[in-house]
Amino acid sequence: MNEPWTDNELKEAVFAYFKMLRLEMNNTPYIKSETNRNLQKLLINRNYKSIEYRWQNISSVLNDNKLPFIKGYKPAKNVGTSVKERIWTIINESGFFD
| Nearby residues of 7 by Cβ (< 8 Å), 6 or more positions away | 86, 90
- Domain-embedded: residue 50: yes
Residue 2 lies in a domain: no
Number of domains observed in the structure of the chain:
1
In a domain, 36, yes or no: yes
> Does the residue 45 lie in any domain?
yes
Quote the pTM value: 0.94
Q: Is residue 22 part of a domain?
A: yes
What's the pLDDT at 1?
52
Question: Domain for residue 1, yes or no?
Answer: no
- The residue range of the domain holding 21 is 7-94
Helices 7-25, 48-64: crossing angle, 10 deg rounding: 70
Query: What is the residue-level pLDDT of the chain in tens, covering all 98 positions?
Result: 578 999 999 999 999 999 999 999 999 999 999 999 999 999 999 999 999 999 999 999 999 999 999 999 999 999 999 999 999 999 999 888 87
